[in-house]
Amino acid sequence: MEKTIKLNYNNHVIKEFKAGTKILDIVPSFKKYYNYDILAAKFENGILELGDTITRSGAITFYDRSSRAGNDIYSRSVQFILLLAVKRILGPSSEIITQHSIDKGIYYEIEDNHFDKPILKRIEAEMRKIVEEDLVFTKLSVSRLDAMHFFKKRNQMDKVKVLKYISNTYINLYKLDNLYDYFYGQMAYSTKSIDSFKLTYIKGNGFVLSYPDVYNPECTLDYKHHNMIFNTFLDYTRWGNNIGISNAADLNALVSTGEFERLIHLAEAYYNSQLAYVAEQIHQNKDNIKLVLIAGPSSSGKTTTSKKLEVYLQSRGIHTHQISIDDYFVNKIDTPLDEHGQLDLESLRAVDVDLFNRHLTQLLEGEKVLLPQYNFITGEREYKNKWLQIGENDIIIIEGLHGLNEELTLSIERKNKYKIYISPLTQLNIDNHNRIYTSDTRKLRRIVRDNRYRGYSASDTLKLWSNIRNGEEKYIFPFQDDADIVINSALIYELGVLKTYAEPLLFSVEENDEMYAEALRLINFLRNLLPIPSDSVPGDSVLREFIGGSYFKD
Give yes or no for residue 89 having a pLDDT over 80: yes
pLDDT given for residue 448 in this prediction = 97
Q: What is the pTM of this model?
A: 0.92
Containing 354, the helix (H) or strand (E) segment is helix 353-364
**178-190 burial: b if 16+ Cβ within 10 Å, else e:** ebbbbbbbbbbbb
> Any alpha helices (H) in 3-112, and if so which ranges?
23-26, 68-90
- Can you tell me the distance from the alpha carbon of 389 to that of 86, in angstroms, rounded to the nearest whole number? 62
Contact 357, 411 (CB under 8 A): yes
Confidence of residue 166 (pLDDT cuts 50, 70, 90): confident
Q: DSSP label at 487?
A: E
The mean of the pLDDT values for the chain is 93
pLDDT given for residue 1 in this prediction = 58
Confidence of residue 265 (pLDDT cuts 50, 70, 90): very high
Where in 409-490 does DSSP place strands (E)? 417-423, 485-488
Average pLDDT over residues 66-82: 96
- Can you tell me the distance from the alpha carbon of 136 to that of 191, in angstroms, rounded to the nearest whole number? 6
- Can you tell me the distance from the alpha carbon of 173 to that of 328, in angstroms, rounded to the nearest whole number? 53
Least confident residue range of 11-15, 79-83, 389-393 = 11-15
Show the domains of the chain with their CATH numbers. Answer: 4-64 (3.10.20.30), 69-225 (3.30.980.10), 230-284+423-547 (no CATH)
Least confident residue range of 192-196, 342-346, 444-448 = 342-346
CB-facing half-sphere around the CA of 17: CA atoms within 13 A: 23
Which strands sit side by side in the sheet containing 13-18, from one edge to the other? 13-18, 4-9, 58-63, 40-43, 46-49
Contact 483, 406 (CB under 8 A): no
Confidence of residue 337 (pLDDT cuts 50, 70, 90): confident
- Can you tell me the distance from the alpha carbon of 232 to that of 427, in angstroms, rounded to the nearest whole number? 10
- Pick 256 or 554 by higher pLDDT: 256
- Can you tell me the distance from the alpha carbon of 136 to that of 177, in angstroms, rounded to the nearest whole number? 8
Contact 27, 38 (CB under 8 A): yes
Cβ neighbours around 245 below 10 Å, total: 21
pLDDT given for residue 553 in this prediction = 65
What phi and psi values does residue 336 have, to the nearest 5 degrees?
Answer: -65, 160
501 Cα distance to chain centroid: 18
Torsion sign, CA atoms 333, 339, 345, 347: negative
pLDDT tens digits, residue range 123-135?
Answer: 999 999 999 999 9
**329-343 burial: b if 16+ Cβ within 10 Å, else e:** bbeeeebeeeeeeee
Give yes or no for residue 554 having a pLDDT over 60: no
Average pLDDT over residues 135-143: 96
- Can you tell me the distance from the alpha carbon of 116 to that of 111, in angstroms, rounded to the nearest whole number? 12
| 485 to 25, 228, 292, 296, 496: CA distances (angstroms) | 52, 7, 11, 12, 28
**501-515 burial: b if 16+ Cβ within 10 Å, else e:** bbbebbeebeeebeb
Angle at 72 between CA 527 and CA 154, to 5 degrees: 60
